[in-house]
Amino acid sequence: MTKVNFETGLNGPEPIALEATCSSDMQKELSDYPLTGRFLMGRLRHAMGDREKEILESSITEVVDFDKGHRLVTRGEKCNHSTMLIEGFALRTIVENGRRYVVGIQVPGDFVDLHAFALKRLDHDLVTLGPAKVGYVPHSRLQDLMNSEPHLSRLFWFSTLLDAAIHRQWTLKLEQLKAYRRVAHLLAEIWYRLEMVGLAHSDGFRTPLTQTDLADMCGTTAIHMNRALRALSREGVAEFRRGNVTVTDRKNFEKHGDFNPTYLYGQGDLYIGAELTRD
Amino acid sequence: MTKVNFETGLNGPEPIALEATCSSDMQKELSDYPLTGRFLMGRLRHAMGDREKEILESSITEVVDFDKGHRLVTRGEKCNHSTMLIEGFALRTIVENGRRYVVGIQVPGDFVDLHAFALKRLDHDLVTLGPAKVGYVPHSRLQDLMNSEPHLSRLFWFSTLLDAAIHRQWTLKLEQLKAYRRVAHLLAEIWYRLEMVGLAHSDGFRTPLTQTDLADMCGTTAIHMNRALRALSREGVAEFRRGNVTVTDRKNFEKHGDFNPTYLYGQGDLYIGAELTRD
DNA sequence: TTTCGAAATTAACTTTGGTCAAGAAAGCGG
DNA sequence: CCGCTTTCTTGACCAAAGTTAATTTCGAAA
């Protein structure tokens, strides 16, 4: 383990360089594959051969930087490429009756609209949370890979199934938990996911999330979200200040959020299909 | 259009034969492919070639009938086959702290645990709602198909993406609606999905669902679900009696549930990837 | 037909969360 | 530094939903 600096799209006075724990394996991956090195990291990346990693990296035909709030994908519009999130965050949002709802959050390394390859039109928007860097893969290219690379295709499929597993967990937690535990669960999930791609630190993590964003993800109001966050703070469970999440006792924190990471299919959880690791 | 009788797994005094609207196309499909004829029906079934339909039908190595409440898949246990739901209903359930939560419902024609092919272990149970008939496809067979049938593989992928789209909609509706509209939405969805596979009738549909099941799907209590259903009945929007759903004014009903079926990617909605229809 | 158990129903009371209204604090651009 | 905007915070009040506890209805099986 070694330390490495990273940048998230913060809106603070000056961009604070944070220490993120990042193994040397991970560092090598990121220098070898600067655009797609985080894809499936912490999950089945080890199942990708070097050739497959090269194929994926070279499939990105265009890299673009966006400011916060840019709509990457519009609900109902036809897509001819899919988008790899290289840096920054994105939300899956749906605006109805003048109110915004968030049904998912994506972190670096996520192939955010890979499902648009098969669905062509999405039922939601994808919006950058802070500044973000993305890479595009044309659907024609994915089409070719479907025909010539069955193993890589299976990994793509797997990655969309991870999203589905996360959706199920969100559904579960909305059914099961009150606002206080719901945020705790959400923050625990984001922390875990950032950790898998080397973007968390030992006391927490940083995002450009506002309390309103959290409210829209938890199906509550910004006002009630504020009550929940203050309660978490009052109990000494976690601090959320302007997107900066700080936790002292992680076990305790995850207990408050009723968080069990197996649904994220991390590679340490021995929960993953062995067949996918072999060609 | 012609009428055909069908059976759902009802626990009523005698199995009531209901009239279901079912096109002659659909009838032919069901007689030609009695086990898998409902797979992707109303969606991209027309994109499957006869050869592909044969391949799928012949991939079912075993057909089994189960009683109500049988656990088809157990959370965390390794799966070596995937399950086609031929007749009846199944719920995706999670039991935690002694309470049951439902994160999905499956209808005939659904390849209910296709995602287990890639994930190997699921994060939830699959339980039959009433009596059900299922068919098994070994994962070794799916593996072969991945290598030899890229187009069929893409359709399998598509079918798991439909599940994900439904999960997103459930998340959205849990965030957005109060219990009263939530049930209405849920019932509208089930109706629509049954209609796509020829198992609904013009005034509604029949299922073995109880009010407790609905409550577990809507993240509320059976008592509150009862209040919501009574309200729907009082307003003349819909009647739910022992799994029997009756609606007089469908447009009005769907409006109360804030229901828009585009997320179900039905073939009439011109919402589906044209690329998938061609090889 | 009777009996039993599951499912549905209702009421009284408590907790959680939504709404409205008003400020305070922090970040941003000049 | 100042003014402007966004984000956060708090209080008072009301509606939605959970809890507990009975009671009724219905369907299945004897």
Query: What confidence tens digit (pLDDT) does each residue in A197-256 have?
Result: 999 999 999 999 999 999 999 999 999 999 999 999 999 999 999 999 999 999 999 999
Q: Taking 60 as the threshold, does the pLDDT of residue B5 lie above it?
A: no
- Radius of gyration for chain B, computed over Cα atoms and rounded to the nearest angstrom: 18
Do the Cβ atoms of A119 and B265 come within 8 Å?
Answer: yes
Residues B274 and B44: their CA atoms lie apart, in Å, by: 10
Spell out which residues of chain B touch residue A175, defining contact as CB-CB under 8 Å. Answer: 101-103, 174, 216, 218-219
Instruction: Give the lowest-confidence range in A136-140, A169-173, A190-194, B241-245.
Output: B241-245
Residues B113 and B107: their CA atoms lie apart, in Å, by: 12
Across A188-204, average pLDDT? 95
Best A171, A176, A270 residue to mutate vs chain B (most B CBs within 10 Å): A171
Residues A23 and A1: their CA atoms lie apart, in Å, by: 5
Do the Cβ atoms of B119 and A216 come within 8 Å?
Answer: no
Q: Taking 60 as the threshold, does the pLDDT of residue B7 lie above it?
A: no
Instruction: Flag whether residue B43 sits within 8 Å of chain A, measured between CB atoms.
Output: no
A269 is written with which tokens? 């959880």
pLDDT band at B24 (very low <50, low <70, confident <90, very high): confident
Do the Cβ atoms of B172 and A101 come within 8 Å?
Answer: yes
Best A155, A167, A213, A217 residue to mutate vs chain B (most B CBs within 10 Å): A167
pLDDT, one tens digit per residue, over A90-120 is 999 999 988 999 999 999 999 999 999 999 8
**Chain A (121-180) residues lying within 8 Å, Cβ to Cβ, of chain B:** 121, 123-124, 139, 143, 146-147, 150, 153-154, 157-158, 160-161, 163-165, 167-172, 174-176
Cα B175 to Cα A102, B178, B214: the distances in Å are 9, 9, 17
User: For B147, phi and psi rounded to 5 degrees?
Assistant: -80, -35
**Chain A residue with minimum CA distance to B165:** A123
Q: Taking 60 as the threshold, does the pLDDT of residue A10 lie above it?
A: no
The whole-angstrom distance between A5's CA and the closest CA on chain B is 33
Chain-wide mean pLDDT for chain B? 89
Amino acid at the residue B123: D
**Chain A residue with minimum CA distance to B271:** A121
pLDDT, one tens digit per residue, over B141-177 is 999 999 999 999 999 999 999 999 999 999 999 999 9
Residues A172 and B241: their CA atoms lie apart, in Å, by: 26
Best A80, A175, A259 residue to mutate vs chain B (most B CBs within 10 Å): A175
Q: Taking 90 as the threshold, does the pLDDT of residue A89 lie above it?
A: yes
Show the CA angle centred on residue A158, arms to residues A65 and B80, nearest 5°: 175
Amino acid at the residue B157: W
b/e for A13-37, b at 16 or more Cβ within 10 A?
A: eeeeebebebeeebeebbeebebbb
Please classify residue A221 by burial: count the beta carbons closer than 10 Å to its beta carbon, then call 0-12 exposed, 13-18 middle and 19+ buried: middle
- Please answer whether residues A20 and A200 qualify as being in contact, where contact means their C-beta atoms are separated by less than 8 angstroms: yes
Alpha-helical regions (H) of chain A: 24-32, 50-59, 116-119, 139-148, 150-176, 179-196, 211-218, 222-234, 250-256
Give the pLDDT confidence score for residue A20 in this predicted structure. Answer: 62
Does nucleic acid strand D have an atom less than 7 angstroms from the CB of B219? Answer: yes
Spell out which residues of chain B touch residue A172, defining contact as CB-CB under 8 Å. Answer: 94, 101, 103
Instruction: Flag whether residue A222 sits within 8 Å of chain B, measured between CB atoms.
Output: no
Does nucleic acid strand C have an atom less than 7 angstroms from the CB of B64? Answer: no
- Please answer whether residues B179 and B215 qualify as being in contact, where contact means their C-beta atoms are separated by less than 8 angstroms: no
The CA dihedral of B260, B265, B268, B271, to the nearest 10 degrees, is: 100
3-class SS of residue B115: coil
Cα A164 to Cα B38, B128, B145: the distances in Å are 23, 21, 23
Pick out residues 238-267 of chain B having their CB under 7 A from any atom of nucleic acid strand C: 242-243
Eight-state DSSP code of residue B22: E
Give the pLDDT confidence score for residue A278 in this predicted structure. Answer: 40
Does nucleic acid strand D have an atom less than 7 angstroms from the CB of B15? Answer: no
User: For B167, phi and psi rounded to 5 degrees?
Assistant: -55, -45
Across B20-42, average pLDDT? 90
Q: Taking 50 as the threshold, does the pLDDT of residue A272 lie above it?
A: no
Q: Taking 50 as the threshold, does the pLDDT of residue A18 lie above it?
A: no
- Please answer whether residues B222 and B144 qualify as being in contact, where contact means their C-beta atoms are separated by less than 8 angstroms: no
The whole-angstrom distance between B89's CA and the closest CA on chain A is 19
**Chain B residue with minimum CA distance to A113:** B161
3-class SS of residue A139: helix
Strands A2-6 and A99-106: unpaired
The beta strands (E) that lie in A13-146 are given as: 18-22, 62-66, 71-73, 81-87, 90-96, 99-106, 125-128, 132-138
pLDDT, one tens digit per residue, over B57-114 is 999 999 999 999 999 999 999 999 999 999 999 999 999 988 999 999 999 999 999 9
Query: What's the Å distance between residue A85 CA and nucleotide C26 C1'?
Result: 30
The whole-angstrom distance between A56's CA and the closest CA on chain B is 18
Query: What's the Å distance between residue A39 CA and nucleotide C17 C1'?
Result: 39
Strands B244-246 and B204-206: antiparallel
> Containing H/E element for A8?
none
Query: What's the Å distance between residue A12 CA and nucleotide D1 C1'?
Result: 20
Q: Taking 80 as the threshold, does the pLDDT of residue A185 lie above it?
A: yes
Residues A54 and A189: their CA atoms lie apart, in Å, by: 30
Give the pLDDT confidence score for residue A22 in this predicted structure. Answer: 72
Which of these CATH numbers, 3.30.930.10, 3.40.50.300, 2.60.40.1480, 2.60.120.10, describes A2-277? 2.60.120.10
The residue lying closest to nucleotide D26, measuring its CA against C1', is: B242
User: Distance between alpha carbon B84 and the CA centroid of its chain, in Å?
Assistant: 11
Q: At what angle do helices A50-59 and A150-176 cross, to 10 degrees?
A: 80
- Residue A255 or residue B18, greater confidence: A255
Do the Cβ atoms of A123 and B160 come within 8 Å?
Answer: no
Neighbours of A118 (CB within 10 A): 27
Please classify residue A99 by burial: count the beta carbons closer than 10 Å to its beta carbon, then call 0-12 exposed, 13-18 middle and 19+ buried: exposed
Give the pLDDT confidence score for residue B25 in this predicted structure. Answer: 86
Q: What are the percentages of helix, strand and coil residues in chain B, rounded to 5? A: 45, 25, 35
Give the pLDDT confidence score for residue A267 in this predicted structure. Answer: 81
Does nucleic acid strand C have an atom less than 7 angstroms from the CB of A211? Answer: no
Instruction: Give the lowest-confidence range in A130-139, A214-223, B5-14.
Output: B5-14
Give the pLDDT confidence score for residue A14 in this predicted structure. Answer: 33
Does nucleic acid strand D have an atom less than 7 angstroms from the CB of A230? Answer: yes
B25 is written with which tokens? 């196309």
Instruction: Flag whether residue B120 sits within 8 Å of chain A, measured between CB atoms.
Output: yes
- The DSSP bridge partners found for residue A268 are none
User: Distance between alpha carbon B176 and the CA centroid of its chain, in Å?
Assistant: 23
- Residue B200 or residue A2, greater confidence: B200
Give the pLDDT confidence score for residue B269 in this predicted structure. Answer: 55
Strand order of the β-sheet with B125-128 is B71-73, B125-128, B90-96, B99-106
Give the pLDDT confidence score for residue B23 in this predicted structure. Answer: 78
Please classify residue A52 by burial: count the beta carbons closer than 10 Å to its beta carbon, then call 0-12 exposed, 13-18 middle and 19+ buried: middle
Does nucleic acid strand C have an atom less than 7 angstroms from the CB of A12? Answer: yes
Does nucleic acid strand C have an atom less than 7 angstroms from the CB of B46? Answer: no
The CA dihedral of A114, A116, A119, A123, to the nearest 10 degrees, is: 120
Q: Taking 90 as the threshold, does the pLDDT of residue A8 lie above it?
A: no
Residues B112 and B84: their CA atoms lie apart, in Å, by: 6
